[in-house]
């Protein structure tokens, strides 16, 4: 089995054969098998042969942890790639059952139908109060200024390139409020974040079919406003599904966007600038842009047989299936399981979820590979008949909640937040 990158992609392989794995680890075969048996390194069987491939990211993480025992510098060098923790945080813990927000499992919150608005406030440090009305009350003047900024930035934008527009909206919103003397300029993180999330949900209507702001009802939830902004009618089932999606994606420890947000906050940037930084750091093909990659994989040839064939070809090139293989969840991403179950309940003939479910089961049984949340979000968006570009936008809107919490937490820490670089001369 070749472990070289696909020459047409320029990528490093996501999986390595035994020979390359042993060379990277610097161990004997028995030690590699011990890592596999303990669940430290994922082993992917190759159908029709006795050969296995091994997760490159898992191997690199094992190498980093081994190097960490050699001293502080080695530990710091490995920590940025799923190695030892580098930040003490009281916001989100990654558990085998998925992320837990201040002690509450996100999957439990989603399953219980806790409104996204209440989960946001939990992340921002408030006690969880599920009985209080979920709709946010924004001062009318600030709401009007937010709509003005949203209309100016997002009107006529390309929905498939909306990330930059969302970042610009965050920047423009702060400046609009400051120049007009709006109340949010002296507000805390929670009030500013509520205003920003409401503004984004409404302004996205300028990118949807209506090409106009989505003006919410007095008691309307963020989930409902987003569905209407994407050009679809709201139903209780759709609102529950989108609310669950937002809750499950609200935070997830320290991916690149959160790292960027915390770095900006440590330098004294305001919330709106920090969120803009997070959006830009998350806009690439490995994060928000990955939803489009997953959608192309799913919809180009959507039958279970065709999906299996494509997955096998990817494994033969030592590449991962789009939307599969999460480095933090050896047994599969719990968020994906929850969202795939919702998608299976809501899908109709326009999206054959049964074929996708059969493929997922086959991949888990034959490749020991599991879907990530990106795969499940795309399935849910398709099942709800929402535009495919909405998948990445849902992620960004949801993650604004977690980013705001990280801004507030970082502000309580003194000093700039910056990792050290190790100079290595190049030939």
DSSP state of 93: E
User: Once rounded to an integer, what is the mean pLDDT over residues 145-150?
Assistant: 90
Query: Given this model, what pLDDT does residue 4 score?
Result: 39
The pLDDT tens digits of the residues spanning 231-262 come to 999 999 999 999 999 999 999 988 999 999 99
The pLDDT tens digits of the residues spanning 200-215 come to 999 999 999 999 999 9
Query: Given this model, what pLDDT does residue 2 score?
Result: 38
Query: Given this model, what pLDDT does residue 187 score?
Result: 65
Query: Given this model, what pLDDT does residue 6 score?
Result: 43
Burial 256-269 (b: 16+ CB within 10 A, else e): ebbbbbbbbbbeeb
Query: Given this model, what pLDDT does residue 289 score?
Result: 93
The pLDDT tens digits of the residues spanning 344-389 come to 999 887 788 999 999 999 999 988 899 999 999 999 999 999 999 9
Burial 130-159 (b: 16+ CB within 10 A, else e): eeeebbbebeeebbebbbbbbbebbeebeb
Query: How many Å apart are CA 311 and CA 365, to the nearest integer?
Result: 13
Q: What is the largest CA-CA distance in the chain?
A: 69
Q: Whole-number mean pLDDT of the chain?
A: 87
Band (pLDDT 50/70/90 cuts) for residue 79 is low
Query: Given this model, what pLDDT does residue 256 score?
Result: 93
- Specify which of 77-81, 151-155, 358-362, 363-367 reaches the highest per-range mean pLDDT: 358-362
- Residue 396 has phi, psi (to 5 degrees) of -65, -40
Query: How many Å apart are CA 427 and CA 415, to the nearest integer?
Result: 35
Query: How many Å apart are CA 75 and CA 66, to the nearest integer?
Result: 9
CB of 95 closer than 8 Å to CB of 252: no
Query: How many Å apart are CA 247 and CA 119, to the nearest integer?
Result: 7
User: Once rounded to an integer, what is the mean pLDDT over residues 171-191?
Assistant: 78
User: Once rounded to an integer, what is the mean pLDDT over residues 21-33?
Assistant: 84
- Specify which of 61-65, 81-85, 190-194 reaches the highest per-range mean pLDDT: 190-194
Query: Given this model, what pLDDT does residue 321 score?
Result: 93
Query: How many Å apart are CA 15 and CA 392, to the nearest integer?
Result: 26
Query: Given this model, what pLDDT does residue 84 score?
Result: 59
Query: Given this model, what pLDDT does residue 26 score?
Result: 84
Kindly state the percentage of the chain with pLDDT values over 70: 91
The pLDDT tens digits of the residues spanning 403-413 come to 999 999 999 88
Band (pLDDT 50/70/90 cuts) for residue 293 is very high
Query: Given this model, what pLDDT does residue 62 score?
Result: 81
Band (pLDDT 50/70/90 cuts) for residue 85 is low
């Amino acid at each position: 089995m070749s472990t070289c990158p696909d020459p047409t992609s320029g990528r490093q392989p996501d999986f390595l054969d035994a020979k390359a794995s042993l060379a990277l680890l610097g161990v004997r075969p028995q030690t590699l098998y011990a890592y596999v048996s303990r669940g430290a390194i994922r082993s992917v069987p190759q159908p029709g042969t006795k050969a296995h491939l091994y997760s490159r990211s898992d191997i690199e993480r094992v190498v980093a942890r081994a190097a960490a025992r050699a001293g502080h510098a080695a530990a710091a060098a490995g920590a940025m790639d799923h190695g030892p923790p580098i930040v003490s945080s009281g916001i989100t813990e990654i558990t085998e059952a998925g992320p837990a927000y201040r002690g509450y499992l996100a999957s439990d919150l989603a399953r219980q139908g806790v409104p996204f608005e209440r989960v946001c406030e939990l992340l921002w440090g408030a006690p969880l109060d599920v009985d209080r009305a979920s709709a946010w009350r924004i001062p009318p003047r600030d709401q009007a200024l937010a709509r003005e900024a949203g209309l100016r930035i997002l009107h006529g934008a390309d929905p498939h390139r909306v990330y930059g527009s969302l970042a610009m909206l965050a920047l423009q919103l702060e400046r609009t409020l400051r120049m007009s003397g709006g109340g949010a300029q002296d507000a805390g993180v929670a009030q500013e974040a509520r205003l920003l999330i409401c503004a984004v949900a409404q302004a996205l209507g300028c990118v949807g079919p209506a090409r106009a702001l989505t003006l919410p009802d007095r008691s309307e939830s963020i989930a409902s406003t987003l569905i209407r902004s994407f050009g679809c009618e709201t139903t209780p089932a759709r609102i529950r599904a989108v609310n669950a999606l937002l809750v499950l994606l609200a935070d997830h420890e320290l991916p690149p966007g959160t790292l960027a947000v915390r770095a900006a906050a440590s330098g004294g940037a305001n919330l709106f600038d920090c969120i803009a930084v997070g959006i830009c750091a998350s806009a690439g093909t490995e994060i928000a842009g990955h939803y489009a990659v997953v959608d192309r994989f799913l919809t180009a040839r959507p039958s279970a047989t065709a999906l299996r064939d494509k997955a096998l070809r990817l494994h033969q090139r030592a590449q991962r299936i789009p939307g599969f293989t999460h480095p933090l969840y050896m047994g599969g991403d719990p968020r994906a399981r929850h969202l795939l179950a919702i998608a299976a309940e809501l899908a109709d003939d326009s999206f054959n979820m049964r074929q996708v479910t059969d493929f997922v089961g086959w991949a888990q049984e034959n490749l020991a590979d599991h879907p990530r949340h990106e795969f499940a979000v795309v399935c849910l968006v398709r099942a709800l008949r929402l535009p495919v570009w909405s998948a990445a936008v849902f992620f960004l809107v949801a993650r604004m909640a977690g980013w705001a919490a990280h801004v507030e937490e970082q502000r309580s820490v003194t000093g700039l937040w910056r990792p050290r670089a190790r100079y290595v001369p190049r030939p």
